[in-house]
Amino acid sequence: MKLACIHSGSPEASQAFGALGQIYSFVHENDADVIVALGGDGFMLECFHRFNNQKTRLYGMNRGTIGFLLNKYDESNLVERIDSAQEEILYPLEMKAFTNSGEIYTAHAYNEVSLIRLSRQSANLQIKINKVSRMDMIICDGVLVATPAGSTAYNFSAHGPIIPIGSKVLALTPISPFRPRRWRGALLPKEVMIEIINLDSEKRPIGAAADSYEIKDVHRVLISEKKECPVRILFDQGHSLEERIIREQFRG
């Protein structure tokens, strides 16, 4: 097994990179079977976008803050741990955003696609599922669509559900809804096409974001699963992403 190692550039990740380099013989990332990523969840998400649609697998070790997408940092028995690790394959969402000026932008999200108001006024949005209007207008700060892997991130902070990895559904979650006040969102089959329309683009501008890629002054957004860009990640035995998502639901 050929291993490469990359890091986020933080002092903790840089120190770990140097220590591992003294123990293991790493190859260039283009020649590796597995890439060891040192950093936090944000850096791991960057790696998802950088190394998607490849046969190369990612094994993250936490040198950041939260580390939900990473394994515990340990310098010992790295090859053995990777060899026995469990693999998860994640597929991103594709966001196609149409701006008020007529431009079209496409981006991918492994965590979530979010639409957020850009002014002091709430956004007036329409939600369509497979071209059928399911909510003619929701007044809110925004709306997000989360993958199972991203359901514990922004989606959970917005009171959306935590979704098991194998459930094959997406979470559609409102952000600070005003009307209808009691609507908590929906769980949707991952095969659906979601369309979110800004009903008042001129007076109530919104922005759209696919993970960290942001677009301003958006008129409408199309969201669907993208099968062509999978990412393969490895987790230590007993600490799979599915196990972490289950465990997260029982924390205070």
Average pLDDT over residues 245-250: 75
How far is it, in rounded angstroms, from Cα 218 to Cα 97?
7
pLDDT for residue 237: 85
Residue 35: closest CA among 243, 43, 94, 66: 43
Neighbours of 181 (CB within 10 A): 9
CATH architecture of 3-90+230-248: 3-Layer(aba) Sandwich (3.40)
Report the CATH fold assignment for 93-225. Tumour Suppressor Smad4 (2.60.200)
Q: pLDDT digits over 131-141, tens only?
A: 999 999 999 99
48: left (phi over 0), alpha (psi -120 to 50) or beta: alpha
Q: In this structure, what token pair is assigned to residue 195?
A: 């369309």
pLDDT for residue 105: 97
Same fold, 3-90+230-248 and 93-225: no
Question: What does the domain layout of the chain look like in residue ranges?
Answer: 3-90+230-248, 93-225
How far is it, in rounded angstroms, from Cα 234 to Cα 148?
16
% of the chain at pLDDT higher than 90: 80
pLDDT for residue 169: 94
How far is it, in rounded angstroms, from Cα 84 to Cα 236?
7
What letter represents residue 11's amino acid? Answer: P
pLDDT for residue 86 is more than 80? yes
| Given 31, 33, 41, 74, the catalytic residue | 41
What letter represents residue 94's amino acid? Answer: E
What CA–CA distances, in Å, run from 90 to 53, 63, 152, 183, 194?
10, 22, 15, 29, 19
With 0-12 / 13-18 / 19 or more C-beta atoms within 10 angstroms meaning exposed / middle / buried, residue 242 is middle
- All residues at 6 or more sequence positions from 69 whose CB lies less than 8 Å from its CB, including other chains: 41, 44, 45, 60, 149, 233, 241
pLDDT for residue 201 is more than 70? yes
pLDDT-based confidence at residue 249 (cuts at 50, 70, 90)? confident
Query: At 192, is the secondary structure helix, strand, or coil?
Result: coil
Q: Enumerate the β-bridge partners of residue 142.
A: 116, 175
Sheet holding 123-129, edge to edge: 104-109, 93-99, 218-225, 194-198, 123-129, 132-140
Whether residue 83 lies in the annotated active site: no
pLDDT for residue 35: 97
Q: DSSP strand E in 100-154: where?
A: 104-109, 112-117, 123-129, 132-140, 142-146
pLDDT for residue 252: 61
